[in-house]
Amino acid sequence: MVIVIIVALVFVFAKAKRVSPLSWGHKAVNTPMFSNQAINGYDPVAYFETGKAIAGDENFVYQWNDADWYFSSQQNMDLFAGSPTQYMPQFGGYCSFAVSKGFTANSDPNSFEIIDGKLYFSGIDINKLFKEWDNFDQSSITHEHLTGIADGEIDLRLIFNPYFSIMEDQIYAACDLNVHNGKLDNLETMKSLQMTLGLYSL
**How high is the pLDDT of residue 93?**
85
User: How far apart, in whole angstroms, are the C-alpha atoms of residue 93 and residue 39?
Assistant: 6
pTM to 2 decimals? Answer: 0.59
**How high is the pLDDT of residue 144?**
84
**How high is the pLDDT of residue 152?**
62
User: How far apart, in whole angstroms, are the C-alpha atoms of residue 39 and residue 62?
Assistant: 13
3-class DSSP assignment, residue 143: helix
Short-list 110, 131, 132, CA closest to 121: 110
**How high is the pLDDT of residue 119?**
86
**How high is the pLDDT of residue 18?**
46
**How high is the pLDDT of residue 191?**
66
The low-confidence residues of the chain, meaning pLDDT below 70, are: 1-26, 123, 151-156, 175-177, 187, 190-194, 198-202
